[in-house]
Amino acid sequence: MAVSIARDGDIALLTVDNPPVNALSHAVRQGLWDAIAAAEADDTVRAVVIRATGRTFPAGADIREFGKPSVDPWLPAVVDRIEGCAKPVVAALHGQILGGGLEVAMGAHVRVCDPGARLGLPEVSLGILPGAGGTQRLPRLIPVDRALDMITTGKPISAAEARALGLVDAVSEPGEAVADAALAHARRLVADGTVPRPTGARPVHPAAPDLFETTRAALARTAKGRLAPLACVDAVEAATRLPLREGLAEERRLFGTLMESDQRAALIHAFLSERQVAKLPELEGVTSRPLERIGIVGGGTMGAGIAAAALLSGLPVHLVERGDDAAARARETVTGMLDGAVKRGKLDAETRAMLLSDAFATGTDYAALGTADLVVEAVFESMDAKREVFAALDAVCKPGAVLATNTSYLDVDALAATVSRPGDVLGLHFFSPAHVMRLLEVVVGRETAPDAVATGFALAKRLGKVAVRAGVCDGFIGNRVLSAYRKALDGAVLAGASPFNVDRALVDFGLAMGPYAVGDLSGLDIAWANRKRLAPTRDPRETYADFSDRLCEAGHLGRKTGRGFYVHGDGKPVPNPEVEAIVAAERAAKGIAPRPVPDAEIVARFVAATVNEGARIVGEGIARRPLDVDVTMLNGYGFPRWRGGPMHHADATGLARILADIERLAGEDAFLWRPAPLLHRLAGEGGRFADLDGG
């Protein structure tokens, strides 16, 4: 039974039991509706406590019902029913009280909270707004500016902050069961003869006159292109000027509009894909290897970031460098990263000190890695250097230890062939900064053992990262797509666009940064070294744009040297005036007469190249499903989340239209713009990439 009723004297105890997170499925909604009605009809019941089993109070909607028609009783009616109960209703809150779960709690007359709970309304991250009264009741409980911030950002708050703001009425004592504290509170209400005070009957907190205008202006910058945050502002503003019933009607109207939007579908796709991406048939029933201690070889920016990520997740780390000075620098870098975590409130100073003294060690002796369960090689991108490291690891690491390379491009199979245990070798492609970026490509070689793959995914989960399985090829999923769209955009620059217009057009499309600005940030020399590595194998039919190489040859490597495509100083980067001259010289050398390239064409080139290469990668089996490409590009390459990822965006745009763009651009460069067989087939059949995500 999803909701059961028990009695403790004259208090009715309603218990939600719908594991794993007590999602508000139809059975739970119906159970709450019936239980409240039964308690209200029973003259011997004086008050009601709503509690939940397991690890959390209802943590939101049931994702299995996403996209399906609502079945009565729908959640807004259930919340209204709880709020309208003639007897006091106390909610006992623990775990993650999110979305509809918090709306249920706000329907109760009193909220008692466990000290470790987190409370929030994250619907905006799914392209919608709280649709069961959240936008109308929250500003009646807490200051309007804080309600607006919670709803437009979706960020949860702690129990202590919720108590200080007035969202909850009491926080249970440490070690005290919150259900017991709620029961005691209900007994006091009965003893005092307290009449229920519905949340909706409370006045809305006063709001500053310019609050909503200021918030909209800020969101125009920080949430550019997104519909839901601005609709959230409209809904909260409605609470300040309309009676409850009219405000709820306006909330439902706005909610319905968002539910019909492409952005809602895209964000739901992104949400569900991140939960599906680690579900691989090859890992069913496979248990990961032990993962209690890790080693890292290389203490540069990447190695130090991986070390910091592991330490923050509670994993002891031993980092090996070439010499004492390098090891000392690595320790300083990791210390700085942990200091940053303290400043951001992610770590307390005492834990930081403990991690650095007890959980983190540096040195120069590979033998210290003999007890590690997994070792990540994070030296510079040279196959010779990586072979040398792997030979040392092969000699000292214990049997069954996973040997992982953090390579961005190199052949994992070739590296595995150099050791006596190729089944233990896999790629773990972290993204910089590794202690911040969510994406981790788990690169599976020909001989990688399934339990080694499972260990890579287990590590990602432990680190709080999103893991995507990738096969072995140059660049795997993400960097291979990046290489394709950079060539397409370089072609737009040769045709007549400036790199700065390309960056601006793609930021307007929704990318966090333009690709040339990103190159400056990461260092232009990284891609330059890779281009030189691939030069001997370059197809003579390829049109090669060398203006980025000319910048590197001039010493303009990006932010690290103060100049790249942009000039970097104390303020906002500005275009490097040398770039246009370098590009113009290349156009002249190639006999290209520049023409205006509109923003729409720049975006079309970017989308077509990204989708086409994504389709090629899926068709070759490098990515198992289109959703793997979407998750990679969303979490590692700044593709706008509200567009769902390139493959979802292609489905929404129409594959025939994408194919037509490619065929048109083939007139300019037939080698670059070759349609992927999978894209060609699906477009001809009227199919979608989403049709392949279930397999």
Mean pLDDT, rounded, of the chain: 95
Structure tokens at 362: 């540096």
Residue 39 has pLDDT above 70, yes or no: yes
State phi, psi for 120 to the nearest 5 degrees: -170, 170
CA-CA-CA-CA dihedral for 137, 266, 469, 625, to nearest 10: 140
pLDDT at 254: 98
pLDDT at 532: 87
Q: Tell me the catalytic residues.
A: 103, 123
Query: Is residue 265 situated within a structural domain?
Result: no
Name the β-bridge partners of 467.
440
State phi, psi for 257 to the nearest 5 degrees: -60, -45
Place of tokens 């739901």: 268
Residue-wise pLDDT for 315-329, tens only, equals 999 999 999 999 999
Looking at the fold, whether 649 and 608 belong to one and the same domain comes out as yes
Structure tokens at 587: 């156009």
**CATH code for position 494:** 1.10.1040.50
**CATH code for position 408:** 3.40.50.720
Query: Is residue 496 situated within a structural domain?
Result: yes
Confidence of residue 663 (pLDDT cuts 50, 70, 90): very high
- In this prediction, residues 30-35 reach a mean pLDDT of 97
Name the β-bridge partners of 429.
441
Residue-wise pLDDT for 431-445, tens only, equals 989 999 999 999 999
pLDDT at 432: 87
What's at 276, amino acid-wise? Q
Number of domains in the chain: 3
Q: Tell me the angle at which helices 26-41 and 75-83 cross, rounded to the nearest 10 degrees.
A: 20
Looking at the fold, whether 313 and 342 belong to one and the same domain comes out as yes
Query: Range of 570's domain?
Result: 478-692
Confidence of residue 533 (pLDDT cuts 50, 70, 90): confident
Query: Is residue 33 situated within a structural domain?
Result: yes
Distance CA(427)–CA(424), nearest Å, equals 10
How is residue 48 annotated by DSSP? E
Query: Is residue 285 situated within a structural domain?
Result: no
CB distance 310 to 294 below 8 Å: yes
- In this prediction, residues 527-548 reach a mean pLDDT of 88
pLDDT at 2: 95
Query: Is residue 35 situated within a structural domain?
Result: yes
Query: In three state form, how does the secondary structure of 461-495 look?
Result: HHHCCEEEEECCCCCCCHHHHHHHHHHHHHHHHHH
Looking at the fold, whether 416 and 487 belong to one and the same domain comes out as no
pLDDT at 411: 95
Residue 105 has pLDDT above 60, yes or no: yes
Residue among 485, 567, 478, 479 at smallest CA distance from 520: 567
pLDDT at 389: 97
Who's near 667: CB < 8 A, 6+ residues apart?
A: none
Domain's final residue, options 215, 240, 260: 260
Looking at the fold, whether 534 and 656 belong to one and the same domain comes out as yes
pLDDT at 166: 97
Structure tokens at 693: 């995500």
Query: Is residue 647 situated within a structural domain?
Result: yes
Residue among 34, 167, 16, 28 at smallest CA distance from 106: 167
Distance CA(22)–CA(32), nearest Å, equals 12
pLDDT at 425: 98
Residue-wise pLDDT for 573-601, tens only, equals 999 999 999 999 999 999 999 999 999 99
CB distance 180 to 186 below 8 Å: no
The CA-atom distances, in angstroms, between 225 and each of 118, 221, 624 are 29, 9, 30
Looking at the fold, whether 455 and 491 belong to one and the same domain comes out as no
Query: Is residue 268 situated within a structural domain?
Result: no
CB distance 15 to 4 below 8 Å: yes
Residue 4 has pLDDT above 90, yes or no: yes
Assign 585 to helix, strand or coil: helix
pLDDT at 694: 82
Residue 67 has pLDDT above 90, yes or no: no
Domain's final residue, options 470, 500, 535: 470
Looking at the fold, whether 541 and 676 belong to one and the same domain comes out as yes
Domain's final residue, options 449, 470, 491: 470
Burial 649-676 (b: 16+ CB within 10 A, else e): bbbbbebeebbebbeebeeebeebbebb
Confidence of residue 156 (pLDDT cuts 50, 70, 90): very high
Structure tokens at 136: 């109308």
What's at 184, amino acid-wise? A
Looking at the fold, whether 409 and 308 belong to one and the same domain comes out as yes
Looking at the fold, whether 242 and 334 belong to one and the same domain comes out as no
Looking at the fold, whether 230 and 295 belong to one and the same domain comes out as no
Distance CA(266)–CA(260), nearest Å, equals 11
229 upstream amide cis, omega within 30 of 0? no
CB distance 306 to 434 below 8 Å: yes
Who's near 600: CB < 8 A, 6+ residues apart?
A: none
Looking at the fold, whether 333 and 253 belong to one and the same domain comes out as no
Query: Is residue 86 situated within a structural domain?
Result: yes
CB distance 395 to 426 below 8 Å: no
The string of DSSP letters for 559-597 reads GGGTBSSEE-SSSS-EE-HHHHHHHHHHHHHHT------
- In this prediction, residues 565-573 reach a mean pLDDT of 93
Q: What percent of the chain has pLDDT over 90?
A: 92
Residue among 386, 376, 400 at smallest CA distance from 296: 376
Residue 334 has pLDDT above 90, yes or no: yes
CA-CA-CA-CA dihedral for 471, 400, 286, 414, to nearest 10: 10
Residue 419 has pLDDT above 90, yes or no: yes
Distance CA(289)–CA(306), nearest Å, equals 19
**CATH code for position 189:** 3.90.226.10
pLDDT at 695: 47
CA angle, corner 207, sides to 201 and 211, nearest 5? Answer: 140
Looking at the fold, whether 150 and 39 belong to one and the same domain comes out as yes
Looking at the fold, whether 51 and 173 belong to one and the same domain comes out as yes
